[in-house]
Amino acid sequence: MLTVLVGAGIVAGSVWFLMGQQAEPATLQAKVSGTAVTPQGNLPHATLDLSIYPNSTANNPGPTGGMYDFVDKLGWPFYSPSTSLQLPAHSLVTVTVRQYDSSTTVWNPYFAKVHGTVDGTVKYNGVAKTQIDPADVAHTFTIHQYPQSTQPYFFVSVPMLAVGNNAKNLTNGYPKPEVMEFSFITGAPGNYVWNCEDPCGNGYVDFGGVMSERGMMSGKVKVV
């Protein structure tokens, strides 16, 4: 019992430490170009490009400054170029993700399924799918409400396909990426959060460390 209490204290302590130190990275704005035909009529069309790296390298340092200069040395995975995202309201948003990390099996199969995209699918390297094998999930991109929010409902969750464990690194220090492309429709303006629901961190059930880290596996989504 004492061990459990001490363990819980360490988890709470490290979460407090990380929360207290968190800086918000510079905001990445989705680019609007033209309109798109959607199930909700013609809407402005915005695009957003993200990458997921398994670790930083000399040429790709990841988030820097403040505590990131410390966490970057731990070999943690991160979303790039930013985890602070801004999306236009009442628009079709198409996100392209280049994913360079290997698998950590997602424990809850719900997060191996696609939720909240326009037609319920994601294009994985050009092939539309509604889910992938939980064992092949590297990370997830999951947008949701703050707890007890009164804002419009907004939920999108996409499992990110892992590169093979034996994939060879190329000259840039990473293997050839898996490419995910998906679209969703935003509603009224509001403030949301996103995070990864795959246990890619460490500490308590692998949901510590990087998982709660702004700049790495969680961030803000502002709909304007």
Which residues form the interface with Cu ion (CB under 5 A)?
Answer: 139, 196, 198, 200, 217
Question: Minimum CB separation from Cu ion for residue 2, in Å?
Answer: 32
Residues in CB range of 132: below 8 A, 6 or more apart: 112, 124, 159, 161
Which one, 186 or 218, has the nearer CB to Cu ion?
Answer: 218
Query: CA end-to-end span of the chain, whole Å?
Result: 48
* 3-state secondary structure (DSSP) of residue 88: coil
Question: Minimum CB separation from Cu ion for residue 125, in Å?
Answer: 20
Question: Minimum CB separation from Cu ion for residue 112, in Å?
Answer: 13
Which one, 83 or 91, has the nearer CB to Cu ion?
Answer: 83
Question: Minimum CB separation from Cu ion for residue 209, in Å?
Answer: 10
* Cα–Cα distance measured from residue 164 to residue 172, given in angstroms and rounded to the nearest whole number: 17
Q: Which residue is nearest to Cu ion (CB)?
A: 196
3-state SS of 50-80? EEEECCCCCCCCCCCCCCHHHHHHHCCCEEE
Which one, 45 or 139, has the nearer CB to Cu ion?
Answer: 139
Give the strands of the sheet with 190-195, arranged side by side. 28-29, 85-87, 218-223, 190-195, 137-144, 156-161
Which one, 184 or 194, has the nearer CB to Cu ion?
Answer: 194
